[in-house]
């Protein structure tokens, strides 16, 4: 095997991965990150987030050459015109993406070569809560179900262990299951 084959696994540079982990162990202050988004209302249920800058490893990131734009909307039944996935669907995407990347990174660290990682997520919501019709149902999903199908060059038992470890390390899984303190500040007119 070439050096490249040894280093890159699942598209992850494991040499860089181990170097990053070692560096953060030695200098924990480098682990303080801040991610950001700015959002602007366009019309009705249509709004757009712009994402680029973040703080990492003791300074402001300069590596991103372009900003990401993400549009949100609602379907007709929720009074929108489908200008984007709706906010709750974006949350499902955030959860799927984080668990999947965690699976891929954990597998890379454990020398498991993955062939595929696919997932289907469902979130059940009684919209009487968010629409303010009834105080009983909560506003958000009552429950979320994530169904993964993972294949790779390891026994099924080891792939299950990789998913378990990914759950235990995923940032968005932690936030969605445990919640996060959110402070909302407002200036008006």
CB of 3 or CB of 15, closer to a copy of itself: 15
Residue matched to tokens 């890379």: 108
Task: Please give the DSSP secondary-structure letter assigned to residue 69.
Answer: E
| Phi, psi (rounded to 5 degrees) for 151 | -130, 150
Residues 51 to 70 in contact with a copy of itself, rule: CB under 8 A: 51, 54, 56-57, 61, 63-66, 68, 70
Residues 97 to 116 in contact with a copy of itself, rule: CB under 8 A: 97-105, 114, 116
User: C-beta of 150: minimal distance to a copy of itself in Å?
Assistant: 5
State the binding string over 135-174 for a copy of itself (x if CB under 8 A, else -).
--xxxxxxxxxxxxxxxx--xx--xx--x---x-xxxxxx
Tokens of 97: 């993406």
C-alpha 35, offset from chain centre: 12
From residue 166, alpha-carbon distances to 13, 52, 120, 134, 150 in Å are 18, 26, 17, 37, 13
Query: Quick check: 7 binds a copy of itself (CB under 8 A)?
Result: no
Residues 73 to 92 in contact with a copy of itself, rule: CB under 8 A: 74-80, 82, 84-92
Query: Quick check: 32 binds a copy of itself (CB under 8 A)?
Result: yes
CB of 2 or CB of 65, closer to a copy of itself: 65
User: C-beta of 111: minimal distance to a copy of itself in Å?
Assistant: 16
Query: Quick check: 12 binds a copy of itself (CB under 8 A)?
Result: yes
Are the beta carbons of 166 and 95 closer than 8 angstroms? no
Query: Quick check: 179 binds a copy of itself (CB under 8 A)?
Result: yes
One DSSP character per residue, 78-108 reads GT---SS--HHHHHHHHHHHHHHHHHHHHHH
Q: Quick one: which of 24, 110, 111, 113 contacts a copy of itself (CB under 8 A)?
A: 24
Q: What angle do CA 90, 93, 96 make, to 5 degrees?
A: 155
């Amino acid at each position: 095997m070439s050096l490249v084959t040894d280093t890159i696994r699942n598209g992850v540079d494991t040499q860089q991965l181990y170097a990053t982990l070692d560096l953060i162990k030695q200098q924990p202050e480098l682990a303080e990150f801040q991610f950001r988004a700015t959002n602007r209302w366009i019309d009705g249920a249509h709004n757009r987030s712009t994402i680029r800058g973040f703080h990492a490893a003791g300074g402001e990131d300069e590596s991103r050459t372009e900003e990401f734009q993400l549009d949100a909307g609602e379907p007709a039944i929720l009074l929108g015109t489908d200008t984007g996935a709706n906010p709750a669907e974006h949350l499902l995407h955030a959860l799927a993406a984080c668990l999947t990347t965690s699976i891929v990174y954990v597998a890379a660290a454990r020398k498991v070569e993955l062939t595929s990682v696919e997932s289907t997520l469902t979130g059940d919501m009684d919209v009487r809560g968010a629409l303010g019709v009834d105080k009983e149902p909560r506003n958000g999903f009552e429950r979320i179900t994530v169904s993964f199908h993972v294949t790779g060059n390891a026994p099924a038992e080891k792939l299950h262990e990789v998913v378990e470890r990914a759950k235990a390390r995923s940032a968005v899984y932690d936030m969605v299951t445990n919640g996060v303190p959110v402070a909302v500040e407002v200036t008006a007119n």
